[in-house]
Structure 1
Amino acid sequence: MKTKSNFFLYLFGIIGFILFGVALYLYLDKQAFLDKAETSQGKVIELLRTKSDNSISYRPVVEYITKKGIKIEFSSSLSSNPASYNVGENVPVLYDPINPNKAEINGFKALYLGPLIVGTIGIVFFLIGFMAIRSSYLKQKESKYLLNNGKRIITKFENVQHNKSTESNGRNPFQICSQWLNPNTNEVYIFKSDDIWFDPTDFIKSEEIKVLINPDNPKQYIMDTSFLPNLKN
């Protein structure tokens, strides 16, 4: 289960990185277009009605005349509901002098909304994957430190419970819960094992559960579940 979980964490990060790369490419492509583009004044002559996923949007069709006097029609890459422009409305146009059919309305939405949306989604995906992987790495680092330097204590077994905060294929993992009274501070600590993807109840033969803690901060701990069998599927 942990391997599958790590796979999806890395997948989130990779998808986010790819989407951000696509957004960067779209942005640079727009910048290259702007560097050579010439300006003109156009008019919205039609609103194309497009339907997708049970939603309707409107894409403006613009007519303009190049500096060479050639009349060109193009469909904007921007579609929205309600329509961003009205039929008959005058709009500023940018076009490629070498390929006048490659043109766009000179406005922030038409030029940058696409890269902005893709980039934002990419950043969100990447941050989710990165933060989850970072959290997993820090937990593994802490566990390794505790295994090598932690203080071993004997805690009292309390119960086995489901971890409702984690789910995979409709199932929640199990956790072993134990309790310990710190004799130096008279404080009670509750410890929980890492996620276990089978019911460990029948394998708990003793009321004593070993836990490794950071002596300076008992809230940093790892429960010793080496007495449990390995899950093979």
Structure 2
Amino acid sequence: MKVFSVIKHTFSVVGIALLLGALFSYKNASDFLKDVVSATGTVVDFERKRGADSITYSPVVRFLSREGQTIEFTSSVGSSRPAYSVKDRVEVLYSSLNVQKVKINSFFELWGAFLIMLVMGGAFLFIGVLIFLVARLRNRKKEYLQRHGMAVEDEIQSVDLNLGISMNGKNPFVIVCHWLNPETSKIHEFKSENIWFDPSRYIANDTVKVLLERCNPSKYHVDISFLPMLKS
């Protein structure tokens, strides 16, 4: 399915990029900590940055280096509420090779970017891999039913929204069909996989092919390959 193929690859690529970014951030933080000098700084002001619906406050810190140079810098970490007060004393770490490379000695300032990218990268990659596995299992079930099952033409009952799933505020469609088992006279309801567009206008017949296991109709696959937007 093209839609899920695009989603799968997008999530996987973004996840890998974020994990690479996390690795780069971790290396930068580790290299920075290898050769730093500690000093005591004072919060002298806050830099305010206005976003779409909020303001973030980043502390401006002034300290004296061991060479006697007065350095003032703005923390790379901001928050909706100031984490410090003016005149608060904070420990700062700066590079012995370049005094302009300086950070407040706090866990989040040193490792925050790494952790955020690590968590987000892991989540994106997990979703991409999960979509791949679901598609792989679906294809294996379809191949199994093509070899060992039987094909029947079932009457289409409706095209419904699957309200149990939502993405960006939208629900997918499913094709619902019924099949009368001639051996048991029992009516079975089958539902297609999720379709992220309304397939109604592409349905030209009253029936749809369903592959099912002979002795276990609960194991089935509704063939929707006739839908043009799903063709590879």
Instruction: Say how many residue pairs are matched.
Output: 225
**Aligned twin of 2:56:** 57
**Aligned twin of 1:104:** 103
**Aligned twin of 1:34:** 33
State which drifts further: 95-104 or 22-31. 22-31
Correspondence 1:178 to 2:178: yes
Q: Distance in 2 between matches of 1:36 and 1:51?
A: 35
Gaps in structure 1 of 5+ consecutive residues: none
When residues 182 and 41 of structure 1 are mapped into structure 2, their CA distance, relative to the original with a 3 A threshold, is farther
When residues 103 and 216 of structure 1 are mapped into structure 2, their CA distance, relative to the original with a 3 A threshold, is farther
What is the identity percentage for the equivalent residue pairs of Structure 1 and Structure 2? Answer: 26
Q: Distance in 2 between matches of 1:215 and 1:81?
A: 62
Q: Displacement, 1:199?
A: 3.8
Correspondence 1:124 to 2:123: yes
**Aligned twin of 1:45:** 44
Q: Displacement, 1:145?
A: 1.4
Q: Displacement, 1:98?
A: 0.8
**Aligned twin of 1:79:** 78
Q: Displacement, 1:11?
A: 0.5
When residues 171 and 71 of structure 1 are mapped into structure 2, their CA distance, relative to the original with a 3 A threshold, is closer
1:231 to 218, 228, 232: 228
Give the secondary-structure state (helix, strand or coil) at the position aligned to 1:33.
Answer: helix
State which drifts further: 2-11 or 167-176. 167-176
Gaps in structure 2 of 5+ consecutive residues: none
Structure 1 residues 96-137: Cα deviation after superposition (integer angstroms, max 9, x where no partner) = 011001100001121122222222222222222221121111
**Aligned twin of 2:160:** 162
**Aligned twin of 2:140:** 141
Give TM-score scaled by structure 1 length: 0.82
**Aligned twin of 1:197:** 199
Amino acid at match of 1:93: V
Q: Distance in 1 between matches of 2:160 and 2:167?
A: 12
Q: Displacement, 1:153?
A: 6.0
When residues 76 and 199 of structure 1 are mapped into structure 2, their CA distance, relative to the original with a 3 A threshold, is same
When residues 154 and 101 of structure 1 are mapped into structure 2, their CA distance, relative to the original with a 3 A threshold, is closer
